Amino acid sequence: MGSLAEREGYDVGLHLLDRQIIGSDDRLIGKVDDVELLLDDDGSLVPTALLVGLPALLPRFGRHLGARLSGAHRLVRAAAADQALPLVVGFDIVDDVSSEVRLSEPAYGLLHRMSHERAQDPRRCRVGSLLGTPVRCDALPRRSKVLDLRLVGAPGQPGEHRVTALLVGPGRPGALFGYDRSSEPGPAVVAAVIQWLHRHARVVELGPGVDVDHEAGEVRIGPEASLEPLRG
Amino acid sequence: MKRYFAVLLGILTAIGGFVDIGDLVTNAQVGARLGMSLVWVVVLGVVGICVFAEMSGRIAAVSHRATFDLVRERLGPGMGLLNLVGSMLVTMLTFIAEIGGVALALQLVSSLHHLLIVPFVAVAVWIVLWRAKFSAIENVLGLMGLALIAFAVALWQLGPDWGELVSGLSPAEKPGAESWATYAFFGVALFGAAMTPYEVFFFSSGGVEERWTSKDLGVMRANVFIGFPLGGLLSVAIAGCAATLFLPQGIAVETLGQVGLPVAVALGKVGLAVVVLGFFAATFGAACETGLSTGYSLAQYFGFPWGKFVRPKEAAGFHIILLVTTVIAAGVLLTGVDPIMVTEISVVFSAVALPLTYFPILVVANDPDYLGEHVNGRLANALGVFYLVVLTVAALAAIPLMVVTSMGQG
């Protein structure tokens, strides 16, 4: 099993979210409940942290259920000011992304709460809130959403992890089950059904014409951006 | 030599550990009412559990991921939670039924009412889960479960008309008094009992607990492909005994004592003693497996340390779950609910929960990121897709059939 990051980049939703985080001492730290992204002024998206804990997981259950569950979780200990803040693992200590996320530091005492300033920073957003964001684009069906984010970057090498492309199309984030990635996906019947369901999905490179507007809660894709089919 | 011993031990415990309260009760009930005409469903279920247990065992050996890790990684938190709630309900019902089954088995020898025994059984199960080593639980109870071979011996001693028994295998031989809806209901129940999801949770988590690697694939496959079908034969023997003794008399099976009665008739007191030991081991073993499975599922979904390979102190959350579920199970049983009825409900609902558990296993078993060169071959995929269709049909049909037939009464 080679590292995913070394091979051909990886998809945040498919390869990073919900995976186990293992410390350098082989201890289980938790699951990647969400990933924090930094929206740079030049429009680039850089992953900055893995978020762990119910405050990171619960909002991912959708706008209505997620908000209710998060609200209920706050009430569990309403007096605690940090009850709604997730635990943070800096992305700089991610050593490898394979079928697990391996860190370069031991597990003991590694997690710390996110600060209030960081949680309110408008330049930061979470992958969980970005997935499923409506996409406005004339070339795509109207119900299109952000299905996944494609990342490049190998740990310990020059250059950092950054988002290079968005997977967009109608459907539900996570419902591709990885059938857009491998060259000979099996079983053929399942692959055919899933690929047919996602026949309108496209990959769009981040760059001119692609505007991720987190505050307005939408992604706008202009005519100058190129939409590629999922595989090929 | 040591290697052969390990393989043999694995196969023997797989046989002894295959049968649980759901298999015992459902097979005896079906044998008594429908004869051998549903044996094909047992075969279908056993092949199905072999296919998916092998996949989940392979994933556990190569990538060290247990089933509920995969469920959340592939289905996401939302669908994963739906599966978690569903499987937890089914596993919890099964856990209750197994503890009740241990108490009923002990009632057979002690003549004490089973409600008086339940608290002691619950404490014993919890102590075993807390203190005993994983391999000890699996080996001791699995080997003791082999006592259920008494059913095969009893069937031989009862001396049925073998020709008639074999010709009864055809679905067309369904007794005329039973409707096709009842036939289908018991078919779904048998299928649910054979493929109940906790088996793969336990099997794959056990693989991670015992630190399997790709070198252990051969032993794992021997356990699955030899042990499970032989365990399935025990299920058929239970149905055969009931079909021989009860079907001609028109007697319905409603208690655990009745399940073991054919053995007593055929083999006398000694046979009865052996089979009660078998009941005890099978239900106690399955109680440990289902109890652990509730802890495994929750811990793997939420991502906190689990398992018996770390010290209880390091997996405190996991052990608290085990304690709480044991207390709940004992509490439910102490309300006086009939463990046999809980068993009947649990096998039907396990049929409902099947597709969400087995679909992610099939998808990940094809993913080279997890399995490298050990991904599914054509046969495993063909069978996997076939079973996905069967599972979905069974899941959709389970509740309507339960309502239409009033749990098989009609």
- DSSP strand pairing (A227-229 vs A145-152): unpaired
| A60–B73 C-beta distance less than 8 A | no
Subunit contact A19:B366, Cβ cutoff 8 A? no
Q: Helices (H) and strands (E) in chain B — how many of each?
A: 17, 0
Rounded to an integer, what distance in angstroms lies between the CA atom of residue B77 and that of residue B68? 11
Min distance B119 CA to chain A CA atoms (Å): 32
Between chains, do B368 and A182 touch, taking CB under 8 Å as contact?
yes
The torsion angles phi and psi of A30, rounded to 5 degrees, stand at: 165, -160
Do residue A190 and residue B303 have CB atoms under 8 angstroms apart? no
Q: How many beta carbons lie within 10 A of that of residue B56, not counting itself? A: 31
**In this complex, which of B75, B303, B385 lies closest to A31 when CB atoms are compared?**
B303
Question: Which helix H or strand E contains B77, and what residues bound it?
Answer: helix B67-110
CB of A15 within 8 Å of a chain B CB? The answer is: yes
Residue type, A145: K
What is the DSSP code string of A168-214? Answer: EESS-TTTTTTTTT-SS-SSHHHHHHHHHHTTT-EEEESSTTEEEET
Over residues B121-153, the pLDDT tens digits come to 999 999 999 988 888 888 899 899 999 999 999
Q: Do the Cβ atoms of A20 and A103 come closer than 8 Å?
A: no
Run means of pLDDT, 10 residues per run, chain B, 410 residues: 80 85 92 92 94 95 90 88 90 94 93 93 94 87 92 92 87 84 92 89 90 90 92 93 92 92 93 94 93 93 85 87 96 93 87 88 89 91 95 92 84
Q: Residue A230 above 90 pLDDT?
A: no
Q: What pLDDT, in 10s, does the model give residues A53-91? A: 999 999 999 889 999 999 999 998 889 888 899 999 998
- Residue A99 has phi, psi (to 5 degrees) of -75, 0
Highest mean pLDDT, choosing among A10-14, A212-216, B122-126, B309-313: B122-126
Residue A154 has pLDDT above 70, yes or no: no
Residues in contact with B202: Cβ distance below 8 Å, sequence separation at least 6, in sequence order: B289, B290, B292, B293, B296
Dump the DSSP string for B332-364. HHHTT--HHHHHHHHHHHHHHHHHHHHHHHHHH
Chain A interface, mutation test: which of B367, B378, B392, most A Cβ atoms within 10 Å? B367
Contacts of residue A67, Cβ cutoff 8 Å, sequence gap at least 6: A59
B-proximal residues of A, 166-225, CB under 8 Å: 173-174, 177-178, 182, 185-190
- B97 CB-near residues (< 8 Å, 6+ apart): B21, B22, B339, B342, B343, B346
Element (H, E) at B163: helix B162-167
Fold of B2-170+178-404: Amino acid/polyamine transporter I (1.20.1740)
Q: Which domains does chain A have, with CATH numbers?
A: 4-127 (2.30.30.240), 130-229 (no CATH)
| Domain map (residue ranges) of chain B | 2-170+178-404
Tokens of B109: 């020898």
Report the candidate in B3, B285, B302 with the shortest Cα–Cα distance to residue B139: B285
Helix locations, B213-315, DSSP H: 217-222, 228-245, 256-302
What residues 62-91 of chain A have any CB closer than 8 A to a CB of chain B?
62, 65
Residue given tokens 């089933």 in the structure block: B67
From the list B305, B362, B376, which residue is nearest A28 (CB)? B305
**CA-nearest residue of chain B to A58?**
B77
Burial of A232 (0-12, 13-18, 19+ CB in 10 A): exposed
Name residue A220's beta-bridge partners: A136, A211
pLDDT band at A232 (very low <50, low <70, confident <90, very high): very low
3-state DSSP helix/strand/coil % of chain A, to nearest 5: 25, 30, 45
pLDDT reported for residue A8: 65
Which pLDDT does position B113 carry in this prediction?
Answer: 92
B77·A28 Cβ contact <8 A = no
Contact list in A for residue B385 (CB cut-off 8 A) is: 187, 189-190
DSSP structural state of residue A80: -
Chain segment A95-131, per-residue pLDDT in tens? 888 888 999 999 888 999 999 999 898 889 999 989 9
> Cβ contacts (< 8 Å) between A99 and chain B: which residues?
63, 65, 369-370
Structure tokens that stand for B344 in this block:
């009947």
For residue A31, the chain B residues in CB contact (below 8 A) are 72, 302-303
- Closest residue by Cα to residue A71 from A89, A88, A87, A83: A83
pLDDT at B386: 96
Residue of chain B nearest A5, judged by CA positions: B369
Give the distance from residue A223's alpha carbon to the nearest chain B alpha carbon, in angstroms: 32
Please indicate whether, in this complex, the C-beta atoms of A174 and B75 are within 8 angstroms of each other. Answer: yes
For residue A183, the number of C-alpha atoms closer than 13 Å in the C-beta half-sphere is: 2
Span A154-183, average pLDDT: 78
Distance separating alpha carbons of residues B161 and B166, to the nearest angstrom: 9
Q: C-alpha angle with apex B378: B373 to B379, nearest 5 degrees?
A: 115
Which among A37, A77, A38, A79 is positioned nearest to A54, based on CA atoms?
Answer: A77
CB-nearest partner of A4 from B80, B369, B372:
B369
Task: Report how far residue B108's alpha carbon sits from residue B104's, in angstroms, rounded to the nearest whole number.
Answer: 6
Q: Would the CB atoms of A27 and B305 count as touching at under 8 Å? A: yes
Distance CA B92, CA B350 (A): 11
Provide the token pair at A210. Answer: 């692609």
Out of A27, A57, A177, the one facing B74 most closely (by C-beta) is A177
Quick one: tokens of B257?
């004592």
* Alpha carbons A23 and B389: distance in angstroms, whole number: 40
Looking at residue A62, its pLDDT comes to 85
CA distance A114 to B140: 48
Q: What is the pLDDT of residue A1?
A: 40
How far apart are alpha carbons A151 and A162 in whole angstroms? 5
| Chain B interface with A: residues with Cβ < 8 Å | 63, 65, 69, 72-78, 80-81, 302-305, 362-363, 366-370, 372, 375-376, 381-382, 384-385, 388
**Facing residue for A186 by CB, picked from B75, B366, B388:** B366
